Structures are given as structure tokens and as C-alpha cells.
Amino acid sequence: MPGPPPSRSSERRRRNKPKDVEPAAPNVVALGGAAVVKAPAESREWHVLAKGWYRSLKQSGQAKYFEPSDWQAARFCAHVMTEHLNAGPLRAGMVQQIWSMMGDLLTTEADRRRVRVELSRTETGDPETDASVTVMQDYAKMLEAHGIGQ
């Protein structure tokens, strides 16, 4: 999505919003299998910057929602990053391509805001509540209120 990222929901002010309109519910697909997808290990051959990026991705709040295909995309991005960091001077086109791949994984706050996902860290120190995805929680509450979901 071109242009500047939208403001955080707490910073937005909409005066013309009807009071009785509910946000559109996302399409929710129930999946069988493991509840938590474990991130694959990083490669020892990766460049130190690629390893650092991959490790930070594992600790990020959006990783809670990653599927195996997302982790493989992250591994591929780290591999491409390594190849080009080790090859010599970086080319602007390749840096842009890597940045785009990172954006597809919602690596930066701007990328997350563009798809209306906001992470908020709590002060509890509880890993279950830290870095909760507020938009997803709102959708879950809305679905529960309508008798959909758990």
C-alpha cells in the first residue's frame, strides 16, 4: 500500500462515524493440528544481521500468528539477506526487494499499521499478555459477542 502508514487507532479521530456500525469481521478459518507453530532454527551460515533479524522476528508479537509458510518465507528472506550481505557492495534494488520481503512478514510498525494490526506491550511481564495484538483481540471479542468462535 503506497503512502504514509495510517496513525495508530488511539491517535485517530473520526467524527463522522455512525454509532451503530460494527467493524467488518475477518474471515476466520479453524485449523486442526498444533496450536502453536514453532519457528525453525536459524542457519549457522547466515550473516550476523540476518540472524539478528530472524531472532527478533521470533520474539515479535506478530509471530504468535505465523504459520509454517510464514516461517519458511522468513528463512528465505534471511538466506537472500545473507547472500547479498556477503557478496560485496549492496545494490539498492536488492535492498528494496529484501525490505519488501520483510514487509510481507509485517516486520515494521508501519507495515502492521497498513494492514490495521497494532501491537501493544503491557507492563505485566507476562509473556501471555505482552505484545498482544489489540486488533485481533477486538475481533475475537466481537465474534464472541455474536456467538461465533470459542
pLDDT tens track, the chain, 150 positions? 567 766 666 666 666 666 666 666 555 556 666 667 889 999 999 999 999 999 999 998 888 888 899 999 999 999 999 999 999 898 999 999 999 999 888 888 888 888 777 777 776 655 555 455 566 666 667 777 766 655
Instruction: Answer for the pair 115, 125: CB distance below 8 angstroms, yes or no.
Output: no
Give the C-alpha distances (Å, rounded to integers) separating 134 from 5, 50, 80.
17, 28, 32
Domain count, the chain: 1
Name the pTM for this structure: 0.64
Residue 108 maps to a domain? yes
For the chain, report the end-to-end CA distance as a whole number of angstroms. 33
Range of the domain at 79: 48-145
Neighbours of 66 (CB within 10 A): 21
Residue 40 maps to a domain? no
Residue 12 maps to a domain? no
